[in-house]
Amino acid sequence: MEENFQKAFVIHSRAYKETSLIVTFLSERNGKINAVAKGAKRKNSRLSGNLEPFQCLNIDFRGRSDLKTLYLAEPCEVFEDFCGSENLYSAFYVNELINFLITQSEESVDLFGIYKNCISALKKEQSVETILRNFELDLLGILGYEINFLTEYDNNAELKSGQMYKYSPQSGFAKSANGFDGKILKEISDRSFSKDALMASKEINRKTIEYYFEELNIKSRVFFK
């Protein structure tokens, strides 16, 4: 019998029948998977209490269809709480990005790594905006939508400090009378975020996400207006 023992995080869950749950995991080897946790709502279930978000788990599942059957879910690390409410809300936003943007069974060890690092950072650090901007940029890169912050899209000329550039998700940056200073774009590329670079990156990342996934309804964004 095939074994799928691996690390995973709960991204989303919903009730299934009277006593079970359908749980969406981001797993280390198999990417995003859905699995039925039979009887998980029963108090005496061995799965009860373990299927909470932001806890790194060891899981095992079976099944060849898109909906697996969960056999094991046990914490593999001591749970750490978030250092603030904004950090917790930010983690839910990250989960919604994963839930909406990642397709079923999209395998990526890198994806699991950037998610795990992001959640770990949100639990320990106060720099929420920097953590989120880094995660969004990394996620877009893994999905094939990496943003080129170094050159113009039409002539490959290097972006220059003091020159303004407009941004288009389908192409990139081009000279303009207004927009983003090349100096700020270089800071984003280097991930050396000043206050202005964080604001610019937030706008550019969101514009990119909305362009490619315009039907998304990421409810956690209400916390970041």
CATH number for the domain spanning 91: value is 1.20.1440.120
Residue type, 210: E
Domain count within the chain: 2
> What pLDDT is recorded for position 193?
96
Same domain (yes/no): 57, 99:
no
Tally the residues of the chain: 225
Domain assignment of residue 46, yes or no: yes
Q: Which domain covers residue 202, as residue numbers? A: 82-225
Q: Among 75, 106, 133, which residue terminates a domain?
A: 75
Same domain (yes/no): 128, 163:
yes
> What pLDDT is recorded for position 101?
86
Same domain (yes/no): 99, 208:
yes
Tens digits of pLDDT across the chain (225 residues): 457 899 999 999 999 999 999 999 999 999 999 999 999 999 888 898 899 999 999 999 999 899 999 999 999 988 899 999 999 999 999 999 999 888 876 667 899 999 999 999 999 988 999 999 999 999 999 988 999 999 999 999 999 999 999 999 999 999 999 999 999 999 999 999 999 999 999 999 999 998 888 766 666 555 454
Element (H, E) at 180: strand 180-181
> What pLDDT is recorded for position 221?
58
Same domain (yes/no): 68, 17:
yes
**CATH code for position 66:** 2.40.50.140
Element (H, E) at 148: none
Q: Among 75, 97, 117, which residue terminates a domain?
A: 75
Same domain (yes/no): 88, 41:
no
Same domain (yes/no): 104, 212:
yes
d(CA 217, CA 225): 14
Domain assignment of residue 187, yes or no: yes
Same domain (yes/no): 64, 111:
no
Bridge-partner residues for 62, per DSSP? 69
Which backbone phi and psi does 9 adopt, to 5 degrees? -120, 145
Domain assignment of residue 1, yes or no: no
> What pLDDT is recorded for position 1?
44
**Helical ranges in the chain per DSSP H:** 85-101, 109-124, 128-142, 182-190, 195-212
- End-to-end, the C-alpha distance of the chain in Å comes to 49
Angle at 140 between CA 114 and CA 29, to 5 degrees: 45
> What pLDDT is recorded for position 166?
97
pTM, full prediction:
0.91
Which backbone phi and psi does 26 adopt, to 5 degrees? -105, 110
> What pLDDT is recorded for position 216?
63
- Burial (CB count <10 Å: 0-12, 13-18, 19+), residue 216: middle
Same domain (yes/no): 101, 173:
yes
Q: Among 75, 105, 121, which residue terminates a domain?
A: 75
> What pLDDT is recorded for position 3?
74
Same domain (yes/no): 26, 128:
no
Same domain (yes/no): 67, 86:
no
Same domain (yes/no): 45, 144:
no
> What pLDDT is recorded for position 220?
56
Same domain (yes/no): 124, 203:
yes
